[in-house]
Amino acid sequence: MYFRMFPAVQSHCCTLRPRGPHWLAGVAVRPANIPTNTRSNMASSQNMDPAAAAASSSAALKGSESGGSAARSSVSKRLQQELMTLMMSGDHGISAFPESDNLFKWVGTINGAQGTVYEGLRYRLSLEFPAGYPYQAPRVKFVTSCFHPNVDEQGFICLDILKDKWSALYDVRSILLSIQSLLGEPNNESPLNTTAAELWNNQEAFKAHLHSTFQK
């Protein structure tokens, strides 16, 4: 049986709320900005003579670099804590570890949940964390090709907690559990893969196509 893949369509991402008291949402957060004193120094330099302005700009840049190093150190500590939390959680079917010695890039794995068409399938994902993490969402995508209504051909995932519903209270564990849940509970009203969405209601045909095209 042959299914033609349609191009991705613009849509609202799937709304999926994590389960359990550990997961919280709806907290207003904002990304870190340039420190106020740095902005003031940069603005005032416009009224200085060239030499003074250059010196002021240099000082502001050094201050910004210092703040950036501190922020990166803070993110590293956060990610180390998340790694320990994930390792100690005992959650079935999910795992993730930093790639080599780079704490800002992880490789994750998700096993399809029991009782779903994805049962028995194992998927690899990449997670890349920005300097503004956890106030900015990580970039998460499937490395293993995933035939799913809310996953496009490049592996990108349409999930609200990775987009506009992201909160600093989420962590790697909650991300992986949410994606694992999404596999068995897609949002067919806003698909990235229309072929998968149309086939979903016929679970027998969906499973047959899924398993025949799955590549480890």
List residues with catalytic annotation. Answer: 158
Q: In angstroms, how far is the first alpha carbon of the chain from the final one?
A: 21
Distance CA(108)–CA(124), nearest Å, equals 6
Contact 142, 151 (CB under 8 A): yes
Distance CA(105)–CA(130), nearest Å, equals 9
Distance CA(83)–CA(79), nearest Å, equals 6
